Structure 1
Amino acid sequence: MSTKTDKIDRLAELTAVTDTSAGAGLWVEAWRRLKASKMAVIGACIIGVFVVVAIVGPWVAPYSPTAQLWRGEVLANQNVFVGPRAENWLGLDHLARDEFSRLLVGARQTLLVGIVATLLGFTVGALIGGASGAALVLGGKAGRRIDTAVMRVIDMMLALPSLLLAVSVAAVLGQSLTTVMIAVGVVQIPIFARLLRGAMLAQGGSDYVLAAQALGVRKRRIALGHVLPNSLSPVIVQATLSLATAIIEAAALSYLGLGNPDAAEPEWGVMLAQAQDYFDSAPMLAVYPALGIIITALGFTLLGEAMREALDPKLRS
């Protein structure tokens, strides 16, 4: 847990760093470095391809992802499968459905789950972290008590392995696609909460805060009108990294049977779970969705890490 919190706290500290070299602000300099980063370019390209596939996949898929058009050619119980061929670029699955079409259509659901879960974690986590940070910045015994109580709960959530927490939430709520989104979103809440709270604390000692206090500006206005907006930059970076985690954890929940109860609807985690029974006879049925998950998560991770390095003066080359 200490490693996880250390990374979050370090990212929060970046919001208090300013860089005025060559007359450029922090974000201008970070954007210049980001464009020159090969890691960022590769990550952005992967994400771009994934988003395009998720958007246009259902329209460009050559067949319906649920249509069993070649039932006479596939005998899963006898380990008879159809591999890649002209009319089926990636072959057929265990129910004689076109694997390429299912992979294309499944990208949309995978992206939807990742985005909704991240937005849920971001929204609730920002509300909690913003309230805790504002209470501490406003000062007073009441503010410190509120911050202490909230942060102890957040630390307990961070101490739990993320997948274990997601599985626990999903088991309580029951099997559904909405459950996966909520479970993965709950895992993201303490990360965003601690990150925003730490960023607000880092901003609390900035010159503009001291100047506002000297001018007699109310603490509430300083905390919510100035400190909070200026503390969002590391949270945006974390959202990119969290998308990668959300996609992996959503696939894991689907693999464990906690995802969409309609197994006919394509989703990469569900496809991976269905393929495990036929791994000896048709291993590629598991390889295709697994590669999709890995490459997509890699894209978001590369871009997020590049953004973090662009903001971190200690990591500048």
Structure 2
Amino acid sequence: MSTKAERVDRLAELTAARAEEGHGHGVWREAFDRLRRNPMAIAGAATVLVFIFVAVFGQWLAPYSPVAQNWGDEVFPNRNVFVGPRAENWLGLDNLGRDQFSRMVVGARQTLLVGVVATLLGFTVGALLGGSAGAAHALGRQWGQRLDAVLMRLTDMMLAVPALLLAVSVAALLGQSLATVMIAVGVAQIPIFARLLRGAMIAQAGRDYVLAARALGVRTRRIALVHILPNSLGPVLVQGTLTLATAIIDAAALSYLGLGNPDPSVPEWGTMLADAQRFLGGAPQLAVYPALAIIVTALGFTLLGEAMRESLDPRLRK
């Protein structure tokens, strides 16, 4: 004999599956089918995959060491004499005679690392705050309402400050380092994930499977954590893809402002862009290459995230 909790879990799964079924497929299967037919999703996914591939295998793809000043005697920054693209240096040389292509390829890893870690930090802390607030709201008790109000007022205070300004403030307090950039950008993303998850959980609280579980006498805490929370993560995961694009741009902005990695020899697109500002007159390509890389990568994540959001939007289902 199965326990009442197991029967309720099975009933909730069946009710949720029936509510999400369309033309014989679940919502995730339909979303994936729409993504495969969406040119925007294909373009975004291709860009993201290329970026990840370069970031992971960049150390082996780079023809030269990104810190070796092998052609230092050919560059004269004081006289605006730089070496442009040529056979042995596809993107030319920087102001210290280092191969620009190698630095771009290896720098992708640092950019990806900062974006992923910052997004995971914002997602984790934001999910804890938003999940706690959403669960407290779903419990419907007086203490739960108070907890929800306190957490959301804290989130509103963070949302009142522009994300980049909040990241700059955190980075200025913690000092100049790569870890500081990750923490600062992650903190700026916390209220977005918290608000989104709380709203999704409140929306799920009125679904049929929740009402059925309540009618069967299941504990409210179990309903909130076992049933409502897992069914509310879809929009949050989509937001994570969009946040990666924002995290990459914000990390580059912090590095540009001099709050990133204090070691200028370590290649990172934001740091490279900041260093190139001194030589715009003689070598504008030093700023163009990292700027284009940041724009294209952020655009890829944005296209993929927007396509995922549209594919999961119930109003667009046919």
2: CA distance between counterparts of 1:238 and 1:103? 27
Partner residue, 1:246: 247
TM-score scaled by length of structure 2: 0.93
Q: Does structure 1 residue 142 correspond to structure 2 residue 143?
A: yes
**Residue type matched to 1:312 in 2?**
D
**Residue type matched to 2:152 in 1?**
M
Deviation at 1:18, TM superposition (A): 5.0
1: CA distance between counterparts of 2:72 and 2:140? 69
Once the two structures are superposed, the pairs formed by residues 92-131 of structure 1 within 5 Å of their partners are 92-131=93-132
Structure 2 spans left out of the alignment, 5+ residues: 1-15
- Number of aligned residue pairs: give it: 302
1: CA distance between counterparts of 2:317 and 2:287? 40
Deviation at 1:314, TM superposition (A): 3.0
Counterparts in 2 of 1:95 and 1:201: CA distance versus 1, 3 Å: same
**Residue type matched to 1:58 in 2?**
Q
CA contact (8 A) 1:175 1:259 kept: yes
CA contact (8 A) 1:70 1:97 kept: yes
For residues 89-146 of structure 1, what are the alpha-carbon distances to aligned partners after superposition, in whole Å with 9 as ceiling and x for unaligned? 1000011100000000000000000000000001111011111111110111111111
2: CA distance between counterparts of 1:59 and 1:310? 37
**Residue type matched to 2:248 in 1?**
I
**Residue type matched to 2:294 in 1?**
I
Partner residue, 2:192: 191
Counterparts in 2 of 1:166 and 1:18: CA distance versus 1, 3 Å: farther
Partner residue, 1:162: 163
2: CA distance between counterparts of 1:255 and 1:143? 43
Deviation at 1:41, TM superposition (A): 0.3
Q: Which one is further off, 151-160 or 45-54? A: 151-160
2: CA distance between counterparts of 1:113 and 1:315? 34
Percent identity, please: 71
2: CA distance between counterparts of 1:78 and 1:290? 24
CA contact (8 A) 1:18 1:25 kept: no
For residues 182-237 of structure 1, what are the alpha-carbon distances to aligned partners after superposition, in whole Å with 9 as ceiling and x for unaligned? 00000111011111111100000010000000110000000011111111010110
Once the two structures are superposed, the pairs formed by residues 1-317 of structure 1 within 5 Å of their partners are 19-315=20-316
CA contact (8 A) 1:18 1:26 kept: no
User: What is the aligned-residue RMSD (CA, Å)?
Assistant: 1.3
For residues 280-308 of structure 1, what are the alpha-carbon distances to aligned partners after superposition, in whole Å with 9 as ceiling and x for unaligned? 11000000000100000000000000000
Structure 1 spans left out of the alignment, 5+ residues: 1-14
1: CA distance between counterparts of 2:19 and 2:172? 45
CA contact (8 A) 1:309 1:316 kept: no
2: CA distance between counterparts of 1:31 and 1:53? 25
CA contact (8 A) 1:134 1:223 kept: yes
Partner residue, 1:11: none
Counterparts in 2 of 1:238 and 1:272: CA distance versus 1, 3 Å: same
**Residue type matched to 1:258 in 2?**
L
Q: State the secondary structure of the residue aligned to 2:63.
A: coil
